[in-house]
Structure 1
Amino acid sequence: MRLHLLHLDDALEQQPDFMHTCKEAGARDVLAKSEGRTVRLWGRPAELHDLAAKISGPPQGGGRDAAPLCFMGSGDFHHVTPLLLELALQNEARPATLIHFDNHPDWVRFKNGVHCGSWINRALENPLVEKAITVGVCSSDLRTPEWKGANLSLLDAGKLELYPYDHPPSRVKRHYEPGASHHSENGYIQWKTITAMGEGNFVAHLLSRIQTDTVYITIDKDVLASAYAITNWDQGQMQLPYLSLLIREIGARYRIVGADVTGDFSRPAYAGGIARVVAKHTEIMIDQPRRPPDAGEAARTNSAVNHQLLEVLTQVMA
């Protein structure tokens, strides 16, 4: 395994115990705060191309063939995952399944770039990604997804399966073809939720839906209940022991070619011109919680969960 700390903000620096553990494990630091201020929330193609070039560096801690694991700060940067996914798959010849743990589906359409809420579309453009399986959503993004810009054609195409942790049916205007995670009925998408299936039953179902030998795992810690993580976004309901169980079960049956972890808290900082800064500030006022958490408490809480995720991911990616 190759361990990377991608510094797009100061979130990881606020967790010195975790950084020390990573350094002891041979982690490579990638310093990209300037790029982070530019691409936070969303970035244009040229900006993301430049960031990808910076992320792609000399192999460290296991050689180029070892699977990469990257911790990268706030969930405002989840759209960096497609870049990490491409790097992880560059030496692969066979298709992989993308396993996506998140409180948000990250499936909206976004023109001229990639948004932290749109990146699933970019990831599924990779010819080696057979499909994505999104797990744990509880957020209001599922309430009226068409109105919010969701690319629900991914469901029709069989490129995406989405399993909320718990959520009512989604109101929609058109009919969608049934899939392993849903069916459409009377103007609603009925989801197969983890709560309805039962956590134990869902483990077996998830494993049965992975039809490739290899997987890439991406984790946004906002999938977790607030007792386990403090993020820039609203929190889901999943417990950390259950997330760890799912990762272990996946790792026991499939080869993990790469993984990333996001969802730390950091105070937003933007660059790229006044119009962009104003637009992004306006966006977070609409989409993110109004009252920021205590930064010290957030760092302590997130450091603890990062330690545990590092431990379980190291075990399954060894």
Structure 2
Amino acid sequence: MDTGDPETFPGGVCRNNRGAPASCALAAIAAFRLHRAVANSALHLDLDGAWSRDAVGGAEYLDARAWGPRLRFSAPRAEMEKFYDEVQPRLAPFTLYGSGEFHHLSALWLRQFREPLVLVSFDNHPDWDVRPPHWGCGGWVNRALELPHVRSATVWGCGNFEFNWPHRWFANHRALGNGTLAVRVWRERMSARVRERWPVISRDGWRVQFAEFAAKLCGKNVYVTIDTDCLRLGDAVTNWEQGLFTAEDIADALKILRTGGAEIVGGDVCGAWSQPEYARWKQKFAASFDRPKLPPIDPAKAREINARSLAILWPALTGA
């Protein structure tokens, strides 16, 4: 029977029976213990009614819907800081919040951490745009990388137009060049020319590539953000075009991270569809221009589908 107990291999390298270095096995145990300690440290921050109030058990509920129209899609720096000052005392390592049009708030959630960490994002979009506005859902990864303790970010499951010419001009090429930002795009969604330029994953082989990636994170702190537009149609209803992951895929990826020895110190889930409301006309115009045209949405059906996937994603993320 495979107990996973350490044993010594030739050359004095200590490995467990599964072939993983014992240091990583010990790191996995430490990660599990830390994970259990923070499993109940969760916040449901309601900006737009995207999730039902009781969407996740054990999480504190904070009604911030008055802020929703002011922050959706983009927000002035002063508004972001005012919002942060108000919610900062209530922040928790794990956060459930609204539509993917609020994904830039993840860069605020990351401020609560002090130790170095790696950001792992599951998203159909790279969110790397260097153009204004400074705070917007399409460029929030750049804000995260400005934090001194965020050492790198990797976005898994991208499949939208931003990898095509001329849109790729607006990527954060400095971060891509120095290795602090990396992306993994779906082979099935990209042209042959795009596949030559960017690292690709496929439905058949992404787990092998992710396991290789996770092995390099052994003993490191990891923050995981999940925008549910990374999920295929049928597993999520969102305000944006969607990717190819299933909810079970993401749960598997989180398991791979933990068994590989990464310490998931925090994370968030956003992306559920909600009716857009905006406080400023420029904000509304930019969002309407950027957002793809989608078929009519049945709100009740959308909530049902999203709740079903959240029931898989949330325990996998928090260990609850």
Secondary structure (helix, strand or coil) at the match of 1:293 reads coil
Note if contact 1:170-1:190 (Cα within 8 Å) is conserved in structure 2.
no
Q: 1:292 to 1:86 in 2, by over 3 A?
A: farther
Provide the aligned C-alpha RMSD in A. Answer: 2.3
Q: Given the alignment of the two structures, is residue 81 of structure 1 paired with residue 115 of structure 2, yes or no? A: no
Aligned-pair CA distance for 1:126:
0.6
Note if contact 1:144-1:170 (Cα within 8 Å) is conserved in structure 2.
no
Structure 2: tracts of 5 or more residues without a match: 1-37
Q: 1:246 to 1:106 in 2, by over 3 A?
A: same
Secondary structure (helix, strand or coil) at the match of 2:152 reads strand
Could you tell me how far apart the structure 2 residues matched to 1:197 and 1:21 are?
32
Match of 1:7 in 2: 46
AA of the residue aligned to 1:9: D
Deviations 1:64-98 (Å, cap 9, x if unpaired)? xxx611110100000000000111x1xx33x1100
Could you tell me how far apart the structure 2 residues matched to 1:282 and 1:104 are?
17
Match of 1:152 in 2: 173
Alignment map for 1:89-238 (pairs within 5 Å): 89=113, 92-93=114-115, 95-111=116-132, 113-144=134-165, 146=167, 149-166=170-187, 167-168=189-190, 190-195=197-202, 198-210=205-217, 213-238=220-245
Aligned-pair CA distance for 1:168:
2.8
Note if contact 1:145-1:171 (Cα within 8 Å) is conserved in structure 2.
no
Aligned-pair CA distance for 1:285:
4.1
AA of the residue aligned to 2:298: D
Deviations 1:260-282 (Å, cap 9, x if unpaired)? 1001000100113xx33xx5245
Match of 1:20 in 2: 54
AA of the residue aligned to 1:157: N
Q: How many residues align?
A: 279
Note if contact 1:143-1:170 (Cα within 8 Å) is conserved in structure 2.
no
Match of 2:293 in 1: 289
Deviations 1:116-146 (Å, cap 9, x if unpaired)? 0000110000111110011000111211254
Structure 1: tracts of 5 or more residues without a match: 60-66, 173-187
Q: Given the alignment of the two structures, is residue 270 of structure 1 paired with residue 278 of structure 2, yes or no? A: yes
CA radius of gyration, larger in: 2
Match of 1:314 in 2: 318
Percent identical: 30
Note if contact 2:250-2:313 (Cα within 8 Å) is conserved in structure 1.
no
Note if contact 1:145-1:170 (Cα within 8 Å) is conserved in structure 2.
no
Could you tell me how far apart the structure 2 residues matched to 1:10 and 1:232 are?
14
AA of the residue aligned to 1:3: A
Deviations 1:40-85 (Å, cap 9, x if unpaired)? 00011111111112221257xxxxxxx6111101000000000001
- The TM-score with structure 2 as length reference comes to 0.80
Q: 1:82 to 1:21 in 2, by over 3 A?
A: closer
Secondary structure (helix, strand or coil) at the match of 2:170 reads coil
Aligned-pair CA distance for 1:196:
7.9
Aligned with residue 256 of structure 1, among 225, 250, 264: 264
Note if contact 1:73-1:266 (Cα within 8 Å) is conserved in structure 2.
yes
Could you tell me how far apart the structure 2 residues matched to 1:270 and 1:116 are?
14
Note if contact 1:71-1:261 (Cα within 8 Å) is conserved in structure 2.
yes
Secondary structure (helix, strand or coil) at the match of 2:307 reads helix
